């Protein structure tokens, strides 16, 4: 009997030692976690709470790491948005104030009677063109802020894309002719169904065509729609100055302007808006170009059978 009691006592003692050891490890781990959280609270977002898979606090540690990671992602996006807004404000200062000052200079000269006859008409024509450029720039800015506001949403619906594209492009034909731009438009006669926002799709096509007119210095433009196995492809090609390879990979980035031919005009937001709208409609966009030969923007939307 004494032997059994002795064995039970030893087992109880051993169990107490094991429990105390585990409790001390948990307390030490909780202390480490509290220290790590204090470090994270102080701004060290790279600090992680380390734990082995078999530790009692492992699940809690991994969950806290996930929360910290998500929080850091949100912070990174906020910093990126702040940087973009700061660049936009800087860009506004130059791209709006400078041409506006020039515009006022021409109009003041006309108002004071400094010029007359043909020169006066030229001043008024220059003023008119600059006013249109400013409106275009402000429209792009408005689109950008609207697209990135929390209140913006697309109204995506099943749409016959060939007819919609035909209606959009018919308004461009007088402009092509006015600018002596040789154009070729090839749209299918059979219906091609997909799901897009009608206004958003019009903005995509209009921005891409406007991009050709403003920046490419092209003499020819070709717009083609084709049906592939699971996609509809809309190609907008020109024979203009093209895009350098170094610029090509950045062409859809916000505020990016190419060094050649594209830096004198534009906000650097047009193509970023196009890509954002295409992706919000479950599509994608690519670009190929050879300097002084051609540029081809291709938009893909999934077929809706």
Give the model confidence (pLDDT) of 283-296 as tens digits: 999 999 999 999 99
Q: What is residue 42's predicted lDDT score, i.e. its pLDDT?
A: 83
| pLDDT > 70 fraction of the chain, expressed in percent and rounded | 94
**pLDDT class for 41, splitting at 50, 70, 90?**
confident
Q: What is residue 267's predicted lDDT score, i.e. its pLDDT?
A: 65
Q: What is residue 263's predicted lDDT score, i.e. its pLDDT?
A: 46
Tell me the three-class secondary structure of the chain, residue by residue: CHHHHHHHHHHHHHHHHHHHHHHHHHHHHHHHHHHHHHHHHCCCCCCCCCCCCCCCCHHHHHHHHHHHHHHHHHHHHHHHHHHHHHHHHHHHHHHCHHHHHHHHHHHHHHHCCCCCHHHHHHHHHHHHHHHHHHHHHHHHHHHHHHHCCCCCCCCEEEEEHHHHHHHHHHCCHHHHHHCCCEEEEECCCCCCEEEEEHHHHHHHHHHHHHHHHHHHCCCEEEEEEEECCCEEEEEEEECCCCCCHHHHCCCCCCCCCCCCCCCCCCCCCHHHHHHHHHHHCCCEEEEEEECCCEEEEEEEEECCC
**What is the residue-averaged pLDDT of the chain?**
86
Q: What is residue 295's predicted lDDT score, i.e. its pLDDT?
A: 95
User: Average pLDDT, stretch 262-277?
Assistant: 75
Indicate the pTM of the whole model. Answer: 0.67
Q: Decide which of 33 and 232 is more confident.
A: 232
Q: What is residue 28's predicted lDDT score, i.e. its pLDDT?
A: 84
Q: What is residue 258's predicted lDDT score, i.e. its pLDDT?
A: 62
| pLDDT > 90 fraction of the chain, expressed in percent and rounded | 42
Give the model confidence (pLDDT) of 173-213 as tens digits: 999 999 999 999 999 999 999 999 999 999 999 999 999 99
Q: Decide which of 75 and 86 is more confident.
A: 75
pLDDT beyond 60 at 132: yes
Q: What is residue 266's predicted lDDT score, i.e. its pLDDT?
A: 62
pLDDT beyond 80 at 224: yes
pLDDT beyond 60 at 259: no
User: Average pLDDT, stretch 271-279?
Assistant: 92
Instruction: Average the pLDDT over each of 41-50, 69-78, 242-251 and give the range with the smallest value.
Output: 41-50
Give the model confidence (pLDDT) of 14-40 as tens digits: 888 888 887 888 888 888 888 888 888
User: Average pLDDT, stretch 241-254?
Assistant: 87
Q: What is residue 262's predicted lDDT score, i.e. its pLDDT?
A: 44
User: Average pLDDT, stretch 77-92?
Assistant: 78
Instruction: Average the pLDDT over each of 135-149, 160-174, 201-215 and give the range with the smallest value.
Output: 135-149
């Amino acid at each position: 009997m004494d032997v059994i009691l002795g064995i039970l006592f030893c087992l109880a003692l051993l169990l107490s030692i094991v429990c105390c050891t585990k409790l001390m490890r948990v307390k030490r781990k909780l202390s480490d976690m509290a220290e790590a959280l204090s470090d994270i609270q102080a701004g060290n977002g790279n600090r992680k709470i380390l734990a082995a898979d078999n530790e009692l606090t492992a699940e809690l540690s991994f969950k806290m790491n996930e929360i910290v990671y998500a929080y850091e992602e949100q912070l990174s996006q906020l910093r990126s948005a702040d940087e973009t807004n700061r660049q936009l404000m800087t860009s506004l200062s130059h791209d709006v104030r400078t041409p506006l000052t020039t515009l006022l200079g021409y109009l003041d000269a006309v108002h004071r009677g400094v010029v007359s006859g043909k020169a006066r008409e030229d001043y008024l024509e220059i003023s008119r063109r600059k006013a249109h450029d400013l409106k275009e720039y402000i429209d792009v800015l408005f689109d950008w802020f609207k697209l990135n506001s929390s209140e913006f949403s697309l109204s995506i619906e099943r749409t016959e894309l060939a007819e919609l594209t035909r209606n959009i492009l018919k308004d461009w034909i007088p402009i092509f002719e006015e600018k002596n731009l040789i154009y070729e438009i090839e749209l299918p006669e059979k219906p091609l169904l997909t799901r897009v926002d009608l206004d958003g799709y019009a903005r995509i096509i209009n921005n891409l065509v406007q991009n050709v007119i403003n920046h490419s210095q092209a003499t020819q433009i070709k717009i083609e729609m084709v049906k592939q196995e699971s996609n509809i492809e809309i190609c907008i090609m020109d024979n203009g100055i093209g895009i350098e390879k170094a610029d090509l990979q950045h062409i859809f980035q916000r505020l990016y302007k190419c060094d050649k031919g594209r830096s004198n005009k534009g906000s650097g937001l047009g193509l970023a808006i196009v890509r954002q709208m295409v992706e919000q409609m479950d599509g994608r966009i690519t670009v190929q170009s050879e300097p002084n030969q051609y540029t081809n923007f291709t938009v893909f939307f999934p077929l809706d059978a």
